[in-house]
A = this chain, B = another copy of it.
């Protein structure tokens, strides 16, 4: 079963699918709060169905290559990860009410990416954020621009910037710096055309996540089908979904409370 419904239905649908004995591919996030996520994971555990969470970047050839570069030690110890996700346009308030907003819906991709690339867990989170342009966002507590910094278990740092609007298109860019260098993953152009004119040199920009991650979306579903067919565990587990959710919820709370939070606090909630 593929769950790609509004975020606030994910946990309940996972439970129902588990009870029906159906293997589950569920879009991120697992849930909008930790108790619901834990209930969903418990149902999965009890039923023994497979669960894959939709962190498609893990199937993007660029992110996969970056991870293998890091895991094979080419960078040495990781010291800093910088991750950027920017959407072309903010969604409607209606959408945000069901998605949970920037932290659980957008930031969560970057949080998973930090875990995936570094193989490290975060120990502290601090987020600062603003509502700069989202109509009606401020009144309901939805932010559109955020900077989230993480301290990882080795002392390495990570920082994530998110924006719900980028006039030039859809942007995902990541860099990981280590003792021996850095690796970056990014894709700016869509077509490979450049135009040289009296007013300068122009190229286009990827403008939609479906263009940026077309191959990754196909690969993640292929992986899910293979896991079901061959009785393997998906590479992106429910635990991965939970770990990123913990950090996303913690970032939201850090922003609300105006202080850094340790990950233990959040997990204990």
Contact = CB atoms under 8 A, between A and B. Distances in A.
Interface of A: 61-62, 65-66, 69, 74, 77, 79-80, 82, 84, 86, 124, 126, 128-133, 145-147, 149, 151, 154-159, 161, 163, 165-169, 177, 179-205, 258-260
A5 to B, nearest CB: 30
Contacts of A132: 77, 79, 154-156, 179
A65 B189 CA distance: 13
A208 B195 CA distance: 19
Contact of A193 (B151, B167, B184): B184
B61 A191 contact: yes
A120 to B, nearest CB: 12
B168 A151 contact: no
A88 B179 CA distance: 11
A54 to B, nearest CB: 21
Given A177-B163, A193-B184, A202 B205 contact: no
A259 B258 CA distance: 9
Contact of A157 (B130, B154, B157): B130
Contacts of A199: 202
Contacts of A79: 130, 132-133, 145, 163, 165
Contact of A195 (B130, B156, B181, B259): B181
A200 B168 contact: yes
A82 B161 contact: yes
A132 B186 CA distance: 26
A205 B195 contact: no
Contact of A191 (B65, B129, B177): B65
A193 B258 contact: no
A187 B197 contact: no
Nearest to A196: B168
B62 A192 contact: yes
24 contacts: A62-B193, A66-B193, A74-B195, A74-B197, A79-B145, A124-B128, A130-B151, A132-B155, A133-B179, A147-B157, A149-B159, A165-B179, A166-B177, A166-B181, A167-B196, A168-B181, A168-B200, A180-B197, A183-B194, A185-B192, A186-B194, A187-B192, A259-B259, A260-B260
